[in-house]
Amino acid sequence: QVQLVESGGGSVQAGGSLRLSCAAGHIYNTNYMAWFRQAPGKEREGVAVIYTGSSTTDYADSVKGRFTISQDNAKNTVYLQMNSLKPEDTAMYYCAAGLLSFIGIWYQPRNFNYWGQGTQVSVSA
């Protein structure tokens, strides 16, 4: 049973924008949703997180000021608006959901127990 479904990836030129969506199905006992990314040969890294109770957010330093995470509770959907994209943003992007004790540990993939299948983002110079 698919629980998180990402969409919105694609190929853009540097400086362009994309908006990723993550539709949540039957997920339980979670309080944070996040976006991670993984480039070939690299570890999965946290990009952005949102606390679903208050919409508190946090971002990786590499995307601050360029990416925005948001949620639409009525649609059970989390978004990642990506502006001013750079070639180094090229990666597979994954949506994740988990139950965290505090926001400070959000960047660790092991703290999330629900994952989507990923959507590819490619940025050309």
Q: Which of 84, 60, 70 is nearest to 20 (CA)?
A: 70
Q: What is the mean pLDDT of residues 114-122?
A: 97
d(CA 86, CA 88): 5
Categorize the per-residue pLDDT at 2 as very low, low, confident or very high, splitting at 50, 70 and 90.
Answer: low
Categorize the per-residue pLDDT at 59 as very low, low, confident or very high, splitting at 50, 70 and 90.
Answer: very high
Q: For residue range 6-58, what is the model confidence (pLDDT) as tens digits?
A: 999 999 999 999 999 999 998 889 999 999 999 999 999 999 999 999 889 99
pLDDT of residue 27: 84
pLDDT at 1 over 80: no
pLDDT of residue 77: 96
pLDDT of residue 26: 83
Residue type, 114: Y
Categorize the per-residue pLDDT at 124 as very low, low, confident or very high, splitting at 50, 70 and 90.
Answer: very high
